[in-house]
Chains A and B, each alone.
Chain A
């Protein structure tokens, strides 16, 4: 565990806690009818999104999906902008144009706005990686998609493309076992999504997606390989979707035992165990961290709620550059 130093662990812990708290805040605001439209929870995905984003350098580019709140935060999207986005305000990332996590892009932070049509980000990121290669820059492009998205033709086309051109690309596949209501066995006839990587000529790695250390190590290795000209890597992170597909979904179709099993493997509890074992966390420091995060989110919520809605007169602004 030597490459995971104390500082990294502590930073990761903060981001994972912030991600969970912001997610809880979103659920709460949705219950209060302040978030219009739908809301996607990412609980259970914190280790994956935070570890993958932390494995990158500042000039790398990511294309997150709808359960990667942690990655957005690590890359520098502030809770202020995210909450304003959810509330449909002018100060949100898309200035009220798009909903919840969709479209939250900002290339100045190396984030490509999410495309609802899954897994479109794989194709885009292949293009980004290709451009990076053409320019001869030591940068890496990373995309995220789920088990359901892995069934789409584009995922296969993009992986093939990346491998044929030996692109500096990392694919993080978040296998949370359900795509909306569709279980994995209805999505594919093989056991691991990562088995497919061989068919494209790239390494396929399987990690425990609830273990920050495991995801970070795998992502870091893939990023370094990509940076060194070694081509793309496919990383399958095994996890579980702990909430419904979106907030309206009570996921009656998921067996209770399966949830209980994964509840016991909660990614935040896991990283806190490691921190405690290293003497980096106790009840008092945790309480202080949580209080700091709540204050940060209170401030962000106040900002978002005080922000104006977009002016209807600006409706057609921005259709063209």
Chain B
């Protein structure tokens, strides 16, 4: 049994992804860890309850049996020591992947990431090739301490890379890239998608490059720019609009730092109307940065104000009607998109 047992009654199966096997988003993460650990003896994983128990969400299930407890390290409950230790291990040649049980708990190890890991190469040219897996996002009725989308903390910090896969194939490919990257990478996996999203995933060595957005659906009239769990919501909304005769483009950012400015500008110039969607709070969120890039470099192409749809600036509430009001979804995207289309 897992933490999110029974929460997802339906599973979306993606079409259009390339690959050889159908995996859930969660299985894709596990497959990437396995592949990379088999390929590279320097890769090890660590975190709370990730070994014998297989992780709070069972992402690492089976790894300890395959790789042993030296490479699948069940740690004491100490995020700060864990992250600093991972950095230290990287200096000895290892490539640690650290699981934060919930993205929320990353704050307990914040110093290690933003002070030490992020600045190290700049200060004394020693790279810090660690990956921090952060299971983020809401929709699971888990309350303010277990639902946060705190990626902007790290997007703001020079020296880090931040990725946020939205599909099983990207969950796989971006994790391979994150582990191989010589820099500290914060890997935002979306708890909500763990079991609710399935798709084809390539076998073997199929990294997805960090820093490249992807056009999930091509269109002419309006661009929806999203990432993480919001990509599926945007695609659902786009499908409805398409049936109504509109042509909608959906861009999945995939990497939040560095942002793919070329892709962002290309879609803005193409459609002239941009709706940016994210689950994180609005103020100083990634959406603000995307909007600024467009405003600075594609202003003359715009036919409507750049619009952001994000969670309001409140903690993530627990009670179902409150969380539903809080979290962006296909219906809210649809409403915002209609307004923009009518502008």
From B85-93, B103-111, B253-261, give the one contacting chain A. Answer: B103-111
Interchain CB contact under 8 A, A181 and B321:
no
CB < 8 Å: which of A188, A311, A312, A316 contacts B76?
A188
In Å, the complex CA distance between A187 and B318 comes to: 31
Main DSSP-derived SS at the B contact region:
loop
B74 cross-chain contacts in A, Cβ below 8 A: 181-182, 186
Q: Which of A117, A149, A314, A315 has the most CB of B within 10 A?
A: A315
Interchain CB contact under 8 A, A250 and B1:
yes
A88 cross-chain contacts in B, Cβ below 8 A: 141, 318-320, 322
CB < 8 Å: which of A117, A148, A246, A311 contacts B108?
A117
What number of A-B contacts does a CB cutoff of 8 Å give? 127
Give the residue name and chain of the A residue nearest to B143 (CB). Answer: A99
User: Does B158 interact with chain A (Cβ within 8 Å)?
Assistant: no
B108 cross-chain contacts in A, Cβ below 8 A: 117, 152
B317 cross-chain contacts in A, Cβ below 8 A: 96-98, 310, 315
User: Does A103 interact with chain B (Cβ within 8 Å)?
Assistant: yes
For B134-153 the 0/1 string (1 means CB < 8 A from A) is 00000011111110000000
In Å, the complex CA distance between A36 and B320 comes to: 8
A117 cross-chain contacts in B, Cβ below 8 A: 104-105, 107-108, 145
In Å, the complex CA distance between A99 and B81 comes to: 28
Q: Which residues of chain B from 119 to 173 have a CB within 8 Å of any chain A CB?
A: 140-146
User: Does A102 interact with chain B (Cβ within 8 Å)?
Assistant: yes
For B314-329 the 0/1 string (1 means CB < 8 A from A) is 1101111110111000
B38 to chain A, nearest CB (A): 25
Main DSSP-derived SS at the A contact region:
loop
A100 to chain B, nearest CB (A): 8
Interface range, A side: 35 or more
A187 to chain B, nearest CB (A): 5
In Å, the complex CA distance between A118 and B74 comes to: 18
Q: Which of A99, A249, A319 has the most CB of B within 10 A?
A: A99
In Å, the complex CA distance between A253 and B54 comes to: 11
Give the residue name and chain of the A residue nearest to B52 (CB). Answer: A253
Contact A179 to B318, CB < 8 A, known contacts A38-B3, A99-B143, A312-B324 = no
In Å, the complex CA distance between A180 and B144 comes to: 20
User: Does B53 interact with chain A (Cβ within 8 Å)?
Assistant: yes
Interchain CB contact under 8 A, A97 and B318:
yes
A245 to chain B, nearest CB (A): 8
A250 cross-chain contacts in B, Cβ below 8 A: 1
CB < 8 Å: which of A102, A246, A249 contacts B145?
A102
Interchain CB contact under 8 A, A153 and B81:
yes
Interchain CB contact under 8 A, A153 and B314:
no
User: Does B12 interact with chain A (Cβ within 8 Å)?
Assistant: no
In Å, the complex CA distance between A152 and B83 comes to: 13
User: Does B49 interact with chain A (Cβ within 8 Å)?
Assistant: yes
User: Does A199 interact with chain B (Cβ within 8 Å)?
Assistant: no
In Å, the complex CA distance between A96 and B324 comes to: 12
In Å, the complex CA distance between A295 and B1 comes to: 33
A118 cross-chain contacts in B, Cβ below 8 A: 77
In Å, the complex CA distance between A302 and B146 comes to: 29
A315 cross-chain contacts in B, Cβ below 8 A: 312, 314, 317, 322, 325-326
Give the residue name and chain of the A residue nearest to B4 (CB). Answer: A248
Contact A319 to B322, CB < 8 A, known contacts A116-B145, A250-B1 = no
User: Does A76 interact with chain B (Cβ within 8 Å)?
Assistant: no
Q: Which of B1, B2, B319, B320 has the most CB of A within 10 A?
A: B319
Interchain CB contact under 8 A, A246 and B318:
no
B140 cross-chain contacts in A, Cβ below 8 A: 37
User: Does B302 interact with chain A (Cβ within 8 Å)?
Assistant: no
For A301-318 the 0/1 string (1 means CB < 8 A from B) is 000000001111011100
A153 cross-chain contacts in B, Cβ below 8 A: 78, 80-81
In Å, the complex CA distance between A315 and B144 comes to: 13
For A111-124 the 0/1 string (1 means CB < 8 A from B) is 00001111000000
Interchain CB contact under 8 A, A97 and B53:
no
Contact A316 to B318, CB < 8 A, known contacts A151-B76, A248-B5 = no
Give the residue name and chain of the A residue nearest to B54 (CB). Answer: A181
B313 cross-chain contacts in A, Cβ below 8 A: 316, 319
Contact A96 to B53, CB < 8 A, known contacts A37-B143, A182-B48 = no
For A68-88 the 0/1 string (1 means CB < 8 A from B) is 000000000000000000001
In Å, the complex CA distance between A51 and B105 comes to: 31
Interchain CB contact under 8 A, B319 and A96:
yes
B326 to chain A, nearest CB (A): 6
User: Does A89 interact with chain B (Cβ within 8 Å)?
Assistant: yes
Interchain CB contact under 8 A, B3 and A181:
no
CB < 8 Å: which of B1, B141, B318 contacts A248?
B1
In Å, the complex CA distance between A96 and B316 comes to: 11
| A–B Cβ pairs within 8 angstroms, 15 of them | A98-B318, A100-B143, A103-B143, A117-B105, A117-B145, A152-B77, A152-B78, A153-B78, A180-B53, A182-B74, A182-B76, A188-B76, A249-B1, A312-B324, A314-B322
